[in-house]
């Protein structure tokens, strides 16, 4: 153990200042906490707007229902992946978990554009699509901020990848919430705006969130 002898002084110093720490709860429990906030928001929106419009769209155009389910599953899996990747020693293969549902979400939304127009639903114009963009981004910002705050005690060894997952989870959750009072038929401009919003949210997260998360790794709080 002569190699360890070089580091005896450091080991002694670290041992001397050892204090008991509060263990990080398992990733699934922390993901559940974040999803709970999303569910409460969804409940508030449902109470205010009712479910009739949403149900009408899904009945007439089941592909929109599939897209919504894809978004919900993506939000759940990406949230779980964010918390898992923020713990050292977990395999990076976790990053693939939200990919299938994200593909279903995007593909089903794209299919919506090819389908015949839903009777009784206004077709999206650019102005309406702007609202979607603003909604997704304005909901994603607090959701991303909340998750980055929840990750403050974690140790993401791959901050950029973790931040991308945070962005995907937030964007998917916002798109799911938007579904509740989305009074438009799916159109190309709608899909484009959704994709743009998701890209902006993920891009901003990987830039800013990655930096925030890597700072957390460099100087993670000592207190438990």
Residues of the shown chain interacting with other proteins in the complex, contacts defined by CB under 8 A: 1, 3-4, 6-8, 10-12, 14-16, 18-24, 26, 87-90, 153-155, 157, 217, 219-220, 222, 224
For 120, other C-beta atoms within 10 Å of its C-beta total 9
Helix (H, G, I), strand (E, B) or coil at 123: strand
Task: Select 24 or 200, whichever has its Cβ closest to other proteins.
Answer: 24
CA distance 207 to 72: 24
CB of 15 to other proteins, least distance (A): 4
Angle at 220 between CA 214 and CA 223, to 5 degrees: 165
Token pair for 74: 């993506």
Using the 8-state DSSP alphabet, how is residue 154 labeled?
A: S
Which lies closer to other proteins via its Cβ, residue 48 or residue 222? 222
Q: Which is nearer to other proteins, 27 or 70 (CB)?
A: 27
Q: Which of 108, 112, 120, 104 is nearest to 188 (CA)?
A: 112
- Shortest distance, position 5 Cβ to other proteins, whole Å: 9
- Structure tokens of 63? 């592909």
Q: Which residue has the tokens 């945070």?
A: 166
Give min distance, CB of 75 to other proteins, in A.
24
The residue (of 9 and 47) whose beta carbon lies closer to other proteins is 9
CB 122, min distance to other proteins, A: 50
Q: Least Å distance between CB 29 and other proteins?
A: 12
Nearer to other proteins, 22 or 48 (CB): 22
């Amino acid at each position: 153990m002569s190699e360890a002898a070089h580091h005896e002084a450091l080991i002694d110093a670290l041992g001397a200042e050892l204090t008991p720490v509060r263990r990080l709860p398992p990733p699934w429990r922390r993901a559940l906490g974040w999803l709970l906030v999303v569910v409460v928001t969804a409940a508030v929106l449902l109470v205010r707007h009712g479910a009739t419009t949403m149900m009408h769209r899904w009945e007439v155009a089941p592909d929109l229902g599939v897209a919504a389910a894809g978004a919900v599953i993506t939000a759940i899996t990406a949230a779980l992946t964010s918390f898992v990747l923020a713990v050292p020693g977990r395999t990076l293969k976790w990053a693939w978990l939200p990919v299938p549902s994200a593909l279903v979400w995007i593909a089903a939304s794209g299919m919506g554009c090819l389908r015949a127009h839903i009777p009784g639903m206004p077709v999206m114009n650019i102005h309406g699509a702007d609202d979607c963009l603003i909604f997704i981004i304005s909901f994603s910002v607090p959701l991303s901020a909340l998750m980055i705050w929840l990750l403050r005690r974690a140790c993401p060894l791959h901050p950029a990848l973790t931040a991308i997952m945070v962005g995907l989870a937030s964007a998917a959750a916002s798109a799911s919430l938007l579904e509740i009072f989305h009074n438009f038929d799916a159109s190309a401009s709608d899909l484009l705006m959704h994709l743009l919003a998701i890209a902006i949210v993920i891009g901003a997260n990987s830039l800013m969130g990655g930096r925030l998360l890597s700072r957390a790794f460099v100087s993670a709080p000592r207190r438990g």
